[in-house]
A and B are shown apart, each in its own frame.
Chain A
Amino acid sequence: MGPVISLRDAVSLAGRFPLLAGVTLDVAEGEVVHLRGPNGAGKSSLLRLCAGLVPIASGTAFVLGHDLRADRQSVRREVGLLGHASFLYDDLSVERNVRFAVRAARADLRGVDEALDRLGLGGRLRSTLVGSLSAGQRRRAALAVVVARRARRWLLDEPHAGLDAMGRTAVDELVRAASASGTTVVLASHELDRAGRLADRVVAVAGGRVVAAAEPSAPGVTAGPATPGAEGDDARQIAPSGEAEEDGRDVA
């Protein structure tokens, strides 16, 4: 079976500003990949590209067999994206928000209760307006949408951000359970240890490009190419801290 995500020299622009400067990356079915890199490295843009939200200017990008150059809409229903924004409506309750997303995705509504319970959003919080939630609760509600839609590919942007210890543990358990059931997960996180423990592979992003990839259990190793086709400048070293060498150029 081919990779779920296959990017070759993918470039994305916001106007004339580069979001991604030639990303080459493969993600296999069922794999958990941790994207790491400094702020502005392009991690969020990479996830948004894979979700079909960001257009590709050059290179190739296939997600779940969909050519993102030709059609970005088809892939959207098949992925669950947790972004910096919650994508929720303040004037709807948590449950109404999740039910709307599940119905829109034509998923099974029976997944709503389970998702809310797993994220600790049962009881009183279920009927609370999203606008009244704390930042952490809002984050959990956004994650509940991803879980309830039962997408088989998750794109999680800083999933631990703003969560308390219990919430962070819940996220870890969700990712592990998803991975065990064969869900492909790509997560961008500055929580190097925590995210590294969840991942099958660590990919370092800097300057809008993938600069290194390695097994998370091999700190300090010299990483091979990020993908079979990536060579030369794309193959750098992941330091023991997990941070790759950067080329010093920030990209959104």
Chain B
Amino acid sequence: MWRDALLVAGKDLRIEARSKVGLGQVVPFALVVVLLFGLALGPAAGRGSVLSLAAPGLYWVAVLLATVLAVQRSFAIEALDGASDGLKLSGLDPAGIFVGKAAAVCGQLLALEVVLAGAVALLYDRHLAGGLLLVASCLAATVGLVSVGTIYGVVSSGSRQRETLLPLLFFPMVAPILLAATKAWDAALAGTPGRGTGWLDVLAVFAVAYLAMGTVAFGPLLEDA
């Protein structure tokens, strides 16, 4: 499975490096979302402002929206010229395909989250304290998000309404991740990381559960797509 996962992740990242859809569209989109939140709730005037208080939640909502785009792109490349049939014919382990596609999206999202964190610090006037908790919660939340996204990405890829179906399926399922990640970040940014470790555990549980679910379910879902 791991060999197949590496092969698929390498292929997806190579396609992304060539097409630059993530860099040229997903990152600017997420930055615009962060900026629009700032315009709607700002300006940031010190630690007590609405924007400053809401920064963790706004950050994760922006990440969620970007995840939908990244997952859609991940499955759009399989929809062109029968590539998904090629993937089925390839003989690759479906669990490997799932892990590979999720890993490729995960890598792109983690890079995006670094950029977004800088934007939040700058635009929302928040000091990025509690670095370890921030990084750990980013890792766990991102694994959970891309696992759910990849499961529903393949479900929606066979539908003509795939653009609207994916967010409809995805957002309700990741609500617990949004909540836990926001709480963990809130605790970290407030300088009380001990308050956020419980939420980090929640994120880890969701990440493991969704990852396991994806490795089992992806094969049958790919067949039906």
In the bound complex, do residue A83 and residue B91 qualify as a contact, i.e. CB atoms below 8 Å apart? Answer: no
A192 at the interface (CB under 8 A from B): no
In the bound complex, do residue B15 and residue A92 qualify as a contact, i.e. CB atoms below 8 Å apart? Answer: yes
Known pairs A89-B11, A91-B77, A106-B91 / 5 extra A-B pairs, C-beta < 8 Å: A83-B82, A92-B15, A92-B18, A101-B90, A105-B91
CA distance A100 to B9 in the complex (A): 11
Which chain B positions have C-beta within 8 A of A73?
Answer: 219
Residue of B nearest to A79 (CB): B89
In the bound complex, do residue B89 and residue A92 qualify as a contact, i.e. CB atoms below 8 Å apart? Answer: no
CA distance A86 to B91 in the complex (A): 17
Which chain A positions have C-beta within 8 A of B4?
Answer: 104
A90 at the interface (CB under 8 A from B): yes
Which chain A positions have C-beta within 8 A of B11?
Answer: 89, 92, 96, 100
Which chain A positions have C-beta within 8 A of B92?
Answer: 104
In the bound complex, do residue B7 and residue A76 qualify as a contact, i.e. CB atoms below 8 Å apart? Answer: no
Residue of B nearest to A77 (CB): B91
B201 at the interface (CB under 8 A from A): no
A19 at the interface (CB under 8 A from B): no
Q: How far is the CB of B69 from chain A (nearest CB, A)?
A: 17
Q: Which of A73, A79, A129 has the most CB of B within 10 A?
A: A73
Chain B residues in contact with chain A, CB under 8 A? Answer: 4, 7, 11, 14-15, 18-19, 77, 80-83, 85-86, 88-92, 219, 223
26 intermolecular pairs with C-beta atoms under 8 Å apart: A53-B85, A76-B90, A76-B91, A77-B90, A77-B91, A79-B89, A85-B81, A85-B82, A85-B86, A86-B81, A86-B82, A87-B81, A87-B83, A88-B83, A89-B11, A89-B15, A89-B77, A90-B81, A91-B15, A96-B11, A101-B90, A104-B4, A104-B92, A105-B90, A105-B91, A129-B18
In the bound complex, do residue A88 and residue B85 qualify as a contact, i.e. CB atoms below 8 Å apart? Answer: no
CA distance A81 to B82 in the complex (A): 12
CA distance A72 to B4 in the complex (A): 19
Query: With A91-B18, A92-B18 given, is the CB distance from A53 to B89 under 8 Å?
Result: yes
Residue of A nearest to B97 (CB): A104
CA distance A84 to B81 in the complex (A): 9
CA distance A103 to B93 in the complex (A): 12
Contact string against B for A residues 47-69, beta-carbon threshold 8 Å, 1 for contact and 0 otherwise: 00001110000000000000000
Which chain B positions have C-beta within 8 A of A88?
Answer: 81, 83, 86
CA distance A103 to B7 in the complex (A): 8
In the bound complex, do residue A92 and residue B81 qualify as a contact, i.e. CB atoms below 8 Å apart? Answer: no
CA distance A73 to B4 in the complex (A): 15
CA distance A129 to B17 in the complex (A): 13
In the bound complex, do residue A104 and residue B81 qualify as a contact, i.e. CB atoms below 8 Å apart? Answer: no
CA distance A30 to B7 in the complex (A): 32
Q: How far is the CB of A57 from chain B (nearest CB, A)?
A: 15
Q: Which of B4, B91, B92, B223 has the most CB of A within 10 A?
A: B91
Which chain B positions have C-beta within 8 A of A105?
Answer: 90-91
Query: With A100-B7, A104-B4 given, is the CB distance from A76 to B88 under 8 Å?
Result: yes
